[in-house]
Amino acid sequence: MPYVEEREFTFRLELRCEFPDEYDGEAHGYAWAEEFPPIAAEMLRALVAVVGKHPGWTVRPKSRGRSTEDEVTLLLEKTPS
């Protein structure tokens, strides 16, 4: 079995939308957040492109059992030189 070292690095994003005082709570069902999935997809493509510019590094999705609406986990692997 090969020896493997691992480290964790987190990019954490918190989405927020501020409403005026007369807003009646969650009446819109977080409709404003529906704009985010395409933004997240674009960010992921950019991250993969950046990693691809660095020889010896690869990136692939890694499941942690959470919905992709809440979390995306990627495994970046370095091939030793």
Query: Per-residue pLDDT tens for 30-81?
Result: 888 999 999 999 999 999 999 999 999 999 999 878 888 888 999 999 998 7
**pLDDT of the residue at 44:** 94
Domain count, the chain: 1
3 located within any domain = no
The answer to the question of residue 5 being in a domain is: no
Which residue from 43, 48, 50, 49 is spatially nearest to 61, judged by alpha carbons?
48
Amino acid 27: pLDDT: 64
Question: Alpha-carbon distance 14 to 17, whole Å?
Answer: 10
Please give the torsion angle defined by the CA atoms of residues 27, 30, 34 and 37, in that order, rounded to the nearest 10 degrees: -170
Q: pTM for the whole thing?
A: 0.80
Structure tokens of 79?
Answer: 């091939």
- For residues 44 and 10, give the distance between their C-alpha atoms in angstroms, rounded to a whole number: 14
In a domain, 64, yes or no: yes
Flag whether 11 is in a domain. Answer: no
In a domain, 50, yes or no: yes
Domain membership flag for residue 51:
yes
pLDDT of residue 5: 94
The whole domain housing 72 covers 33-78
